[in-house]
Amino acid sequence: MKKILILYKSKYGASKQYGELLKKELDSTIMNINDYHPGDEKSYDVIIFVSGIYAGNITIVKEVKKYFANFKDKKKIIFAVGLSKKDSALLEEIERQNLSGDLNNIDLFYGRGNYDESKLSFVDRTLCKIMKKVLKNKDRDSLEPTMKALLEIEGQKVNYVDNHYLIPLLELIKSIV
Protein backbone atom coordinates (compact mmCIF):
# COMPACT_ATOMS: atom_id res chain seq x y z
CA MET A 1 0.00 0.00 0.00
CA LYS A 2 1.29 3.44 -0.93
CA LYS A 3 1.96 5.87 1.89
CA ILE A 4 0.53 9.38 1.62
CA LEU A 5 1.86 12.65 3.05
CA ILE A 6 -0.36 15.73 3.10
CA LEU A 7 1.58 19.00 3.26
CA TYR A 8 -0.56 22.09 3.73
CA LYS A 9 -0.09 25.83 3.91
CA SER A 10 -3.03 27.69 5.39
CA LYS A 11 -3.36 31.40 5.96
CA TYR A 12 -6.99 31.61 7.12
CA GLY A 13 -7.82 27.98 7.87
CA ALA A 14 -9.58 26.54 4.80
CA SER A 15 -6.51 24.71 3.46
CA LYS A 16 -5.87 23.18 6.87
CA GLN A 17 -9.54 22.11 7.00
CA TYR A 18 -9.19 20.37 3.62
CA GLY A 19 -5.98 18.71 4.75
CA GLU A 20 -7.73 17.39 7.85
CA LEU A 21 -10.70 16.19 5.76
CA LEU A 22 -8.26 14.33 3.49
CA LYS A 23 -6.56 12.81 6.53
CA LYS A 24 -9.94 11.44 7.68
CA GLU A 25 -10.54 9.87 4.26
CA LEU A 26 -7.06 8.51 3.64
CA ASP A 27 -4.54 6.51 5.60
CA SER A 28 -2.09 9.41 5.63
CA THR A 29 0.10 11.79 7.60
CA ILE A 30 -0.61 15.52 7.65
CA MET A 31 1.98 18.24 8.21
CA ASN A 32 2.15 22.01 7.92
CA ILE A 33 4.69 22.85 5.20
CA ASN A 34 6.43 25.12 7.73
CA ASP A 35 7.24 22.02 9.80
CA TYR A 36 8.59 20.06 6.82
CA HIS A 37 12.30 19.21 6.71
CA PRO A 38 14.03 17.59 3.74
CA GLY A 39 13.93 13.86 4.30
CA ASP A 40 10.47 13.84 5.94
CA GLU A 41 9.07 12.65 2.61
CA LYS A 42 11.35 9.63 2.16
CA SER A 43 8.92 6.96 3.39
CA TYR A 44 5.99 8.32 1.35
CA ASP A 45 4.91 7.49 -2.19
CA VAL A 46 2.29 10.22 -2.70
CA ILE A 47 2.55 13.85 -1.65
CA ILE A 48 -0.62 15.97 -1.60
CA PHE A 49 -0.01 19.70 -1.32
CA VAL A 50 -2.99 21.71 -0.05
CA SER A 51 -2.86 25.49 -0.24
CA GLY A 52 -4.81 28.66 -0.88
CA ILE A 53 -4.77 30.83 -3.97
CA TYR A 54 -4.04 34.53 -3.56
CA ALA A 55 -3.92 36.85 -6.57
CA GLY A 56 -3.93 33.78 -8.79
CA ASN A 57 -0.92 32.17 -7.11
CA ILE A 58 -1.06 28.86 -5.25
CA THR A 59 0.94 29.81 -2.18
CA ILE A 60 2.59 26.42 -1.59
CA VAL A 61 4.11 26.34 -5.10
CA LYS A 62 7.14 28.27 -3.83
CA GLU A 63 7.95 25.42 -1.42
CA VAL A 64 7.17 22.74 -4.02
CA LYS A 65 9.75 24.36 -6.31
CA LYS A 66 12.26 24.79 -3.50
CA TYR A 67 12.10 21.13 -2.49
CA PHE A 68 11.23 19.69 -5.90
CA ALA A 69 14.28 17.43 -6.02
CA ASN A 70 13.07 15.77 -2.79
CA PHE A 71 9.68 15.04 -4.37
CA LYS A 72 10.79 14.11 -7.91
CA ASP A 73 10.20 10.36 -7.53
CA LYS A 74 6.86 10.82 -5.75
CA LYS A 75 3.34 11.10 -7.11
CA LYS A 76 2.55 14.79 -6.60
CA ILE A 77 -0.93 16.31 -6.32
CA ILE A 78 -1.97 19.88 -5.59
CA PHE A 79 -5.33 20.75 -4.05
CA ALA A 80 -5.80 24.50 -4.47
CA VAL A 81 -8.32 26.41 -2.36
CA GLY A 82 -10.01 29.59 -3.56
CA LEU A 83 -13.23 31.59 -3.53
CA SER A 84 -14.30 31.20 -7.14
CA LYS A 85 -16.87 28.71 -8.35
CA LYS A 86 -15.11 25.74 -9.89
CA ASP A 87 -15.11 25.50 -13.67
CA SER A 88 -12.71 24.31 -16.37
CA ALA A 89 -11.63 27.85 -17.35
CA LEU A 90 -10.66 28.61 -13.76
CA LEU A 91 -8.63 25.41 -13.46
CA GLU A 92 -6.88 26.07 -16.76
CA GLU A 93 -5.92 29.58 -15.61
CA ILE A 94 -4.66 28.34 -12.24
CA GLU A 95 -2.65 25.62 -13.95
CA ARG A 96 -1.23 28.02 -16.57
CA GLN A 97 -0.19 30.53 -13.91
CA ASN A 98 1.30 28.05 -11.44
CA LEU A 99 2.27 24.71 -12.95
CA SER A 100 4.85 25.25 -15.65
CA GLY A 101 8.24 23.67 -16.18
CA ASP A 102 8.96 20.86 -13.72
CA LEU A 103 5.51 21.29 -12.21
CA ASN A 104 3.49 20.72 -15.40
CA ASN A 105 2.85 17.03 -14.62
CA ILE A 106 1.37 17.64 -11.17
CA ASP A 107 -2.33 16.78 -10.90
CA LEU A 108 -4.38 19.82 -9.88
CA PHE A 109 -7.64 19.78 -7.94
CA TYR A 110 -9.71 22.64 -6.58
CA GLY A 111 -12.11 23.39 -3.74
CA ARG A 112 -13.77 26.53 -2.52
CA GLY A 113 -12.55 27.98 0.76
CA ASN A 114 -13.80 30.61 3.15
CA TYR A 115 -13.82 34.38 3.54
CA ASP A 116 -14.26 36.60 6.57
CA GLU A 117 -13.00 40.15 6.23
CA SER A 118 -12.81 40.55 10.01
CA LYS A 119 -10.13 37.83 10.11
CA LEU A 120 -8.01 39.20 7.27
CA SER A 121 -4.65 40.74 8.02
CA PHE A 122 -4.49 44.52 7.68
CA VAL A 123 -2.62 44.20 4.39
CA ASP A 124 -5.04 41.62 2.93
CA ARG A 125 -8.09 43.60 4.08
CA THR A 126 -6.68 46.79 2.55
CA LEU A 127 -5.84 45.05 -0.74
CA CYS A 128 -9.33 43.52 -0.92
CA LYS A 129 -10.98 46.91 -0.31
CA ILE A 130 -8.88 48.56 -3.02
CA MET A 131 -9.54 45.68 -5.41
CA LYS A 132 -13.31 45.81 -4.80
CA LYS A 133 -13.34 49.57 -5.35
CA VAL A 134 -11.59 49.15 -8.71
CA LEU A 135 -13.74 46.20 -9.74
CA LYS A 136 -17.06 47.93 -9.02
CA ASN A 137 -16.41 50.22 -11.99
CA LYS A 138 -15.84 47.34 -14.40
CA ASP A 139 -18.28 45.22 -16.38
CA ARG A 140 -18.84 42.08 -14.25
CA ASP A 141 -19.00 39.84 -17.32
CA SER A 142 -15.44 40.83 -18.26
CA LEU A 143 -13.97 39.97 -14.85
CA GLU A 144 -11.95 36.87 -14.04
CA PRO A 145 -13.81 34.33 -11.86
CA THR A 146 -11.76 35.19 -8.77
CA MET A 147 -12.59 38.86 -9.08
CA LYS A 148 -16.30 38.11 -9.59
CA ALA A 149 -16.27 35.95 -6.48
CA LEU A 150 -14.71 38.75 -4.45
CA LEU A 151 -17.51 41.12 -5.44
CA GLU A 152 -20.23 38.51 -4.88
CA ILE A 153 -19.26 37.95 -1.24
CA GLU A 154 -18.68 41.56 -0.26
CA GLY A 155 -19.56 42.12 3.37
CA GLN A 156 -20.34 38.45 3.98
CA LYS A 157 -18.73 35.68 5.96
CA VAL A 158 -18.73 32.56 3.81
CA ASN A 159 -17.44 29.05 4.30
CA TYR A 160 -17.59 26.84 1.21
CA VAL A 161 -15.32 24.08 2.59
CA ASP A 162 -17.03 20.81 1.71
CA ASN A 163 -16.04 17.15 1.28
CA HIS A 164 -17.60 17.01 -2.18
CA TYR A 165 -14.69 19.05 -3.58
CA LEU A 166 -12.38 16.20 -2.54
CA ILE A 167 -14.20 13.47 -4.48
CA PRO A 168 -12.16 13.75 -7.74
CA LEU A 169 -8.89 13.73 -5.79
CA LEU A 170 -9.99 10.74 -3.69
CA GLU A 171 -10.95 8.86 -6.87
CA LEU A 172 -7.47 9.45 -8.27
CA ILE A 173 -5.87 8.25 -5.03
CA LYS A 174 -8.00 5.07 -5.07
CA SER A 175 -6.83 4.35 -8.61
CA ILE A 176 -3.12 4.56 -7.70
CA VAL A 177 -3.03 3.12 -4.17
CATH of the domain at 60: 3.40.50.360
Element at 122 (helix H, strand E): helix 122-135
pLDDT, block means (10 residues), the chain with 177 residues: 93 94 96 96 96 91 94 94 85 91 93 86 82 80 74 79 96 90
Instruction: Measure the N-to-C terminal CA separation of the chain; round to a whole number of Å.
Output: 6
Is there a contact between 108 and 94 (Cβ–Cβ < 8 Å)?
yes
Check residue 33 and give its pLDDT: 97
Domain that holds residue 85: 4-114+159-176
Asked whether residue 63 is domain-assigned, the answer is: yes
Check residue 20 and give its pLDDT: 97
Check residue 45 and give its pLDDT: 96
Check residue 143 and give its pLDDT: 75
Q: Residue 157: exposed, middle, or buried by beta-carbon count in 10 A (0-12, 13-18, 19+)?
A: exposed
Domain count, the chain: 1
Query: In the 8-state DSSP scheme, what is residue 62?
Result: H
Asked whether residue 89 is domain-assigned, the answer is: yes
Check residue 48 and give its pLDDT: 98
